[in-house]
Amino acid sequence: MADDDGRSRRHHFLLVAYGFQSHINPGRVLAHRLARLGGADGSISATLSVPAATYRCMFPSPDADAAAPETEATTDDGVISYVPYSDGVDDGSVPRDAADWAARRRATSASLSAVPVTCIMCTVVFLPALDVARELDIPVTIYWIQTAALLAINYHYFVHGYGELIAAHPADPAHEVRLPGLSRPLQIGNLPSYQTDMLGSEGTKAFIEVFQEFFQHIGQWQPKVKVLVNTLDELERSALAEMKRHLEVFTVGPMVGSSTETRIHLFKHDDRDKKRYMEWLQGHPDKSVVYVSFGSLSKYTKHQMDEIVGGLRQCGRPYLLVVRRDGLADYDDESGDLEKNTQSKGMVVDWGNQLEVLSHPAVGCFVSHCGWNSTMEAMVSGVPIIGAPNMFDQPTNMLFIEEWELGIKAESNSGGVLMGTELARCIELVMGEGAKAMAIREKAKALRLRRQQQV
Q: What is the tens place of the pLDDT at every residue in 353-400? A: 999 999 999 999 999 999 999 999 999 999 999 999 988 899 999 999
For residue 126, pLDDT over 70 is answered with: yes
Residues 307 and 373 in one domain: yes
In a domain, 404, yes or no: yes
In a domain, 4, yes or no: no
Residues 338 and 242 in one domain: no
Residues 313 and 352 in one domain: yes
In a domain, 124, yes or no: yes
pTM greater than 0.85: yes
In a domain, 180, yes or no: no
Domain boundary pick from 219, 251, 283? 251
Mean pLDDT of 410-414: 95
Q: Which of 12, 23, 246, 284 is catalytic?
A: 23
For residue 71, pLDDT over 50 is answered with: no
Per-residue pLDDT tens over the stretch 176-192: 999 998 888 899 989 98
Mean pLDDT of 130-155: 95
Residues 240 and 287 in one domain: no
Least confident range from 11-20, 92-101, 141-150, 296-305: namely 296-305
Residues 290 and 358 in one domain: yes
In a domain, 436, yes or no: yes
23 is catalytic: yes
Residues 219 and 280 in one domain: no
For residue 293, pLDDT over 60 is answered with: yes
- At residue 67, the pLDDT reads 52
For residue 171, pLDDT over 60 is answered with: yes
Residue 454: band (very low, low, confident or very high) from pLDDT cuts 50, 70, 90: low
Residues 220 and 323 in one domain: no
Residues 119 and 230 in one domain: yes
- At residue 344, the pLDDT reads 63
Residues 344 and 306 in one domain: yes
In a domain, 426, yes or no: yes
Residues 244 and 306 in one domain: no
In a domain, 182, yes or no: no
Residue 385's domain spans which residues? 271-454
- At residue 90, the pLDDT reads 95
Residue 267: band (very low, low, confident or very high) from pLDDT cuts 50, 70, 90: confident
Residues 90 and 215 in one domain: yes
For residue 12, pLDDT over 90 is answered with: yes
Residues 297 and 241 in one domain: no
Please give the residue that has the higher pLDDT: either 295 or 244: 244
In a domain, 344, yes or no: yes
3-state per-residue secondary structure call for the chain: CECCCCCECCEEEEEECCCCHHHHHHHHHHHHHHHHHCHHHCCEEEEEEEEHHHHHHHCCCCCHHHCCHHHCCCEECCCCEEEEECCCCCCCCCCCCHHHHHHHHHHHHHHHHCCCCCEEEEECCCHHHHHHHHHHCCCEEEEECCCHHHHHHHHHHHHCCHHHHHHCCCCCCCCEECCCCCCCCEEHHHCCHHHCCCCCCHHHHHHHHHHHHHHHHHHHCCCCCEEEECCCCCCCHHHHHHHCCCCEEEECCCCCCCCCCCCCCCCCCCHHHHHHHHHHHHCCCCCCEEEEECCCCCCECHHHHHHHHHHHHHHCCCEEEECCHHHECCCCCCCCHHHHHHCCCEEEECCCCHHHHHCCCCEEEEEECCCHHHHHHHHHHCCCEEECCCCCCHHHHHHHHHHCCCEEECCCCCCCCCCHHHHHHHHHHHHCCCHHHHHHHHHHHHHHHHHHHHC
Mean pLDDT of 250-273: 81
For residue 199, pLDDT over 70 is answered with: no
- What CATH number is associated with residue 111? 3.40.50.2000
Query: What's the domain count of the chain?
Result: 2
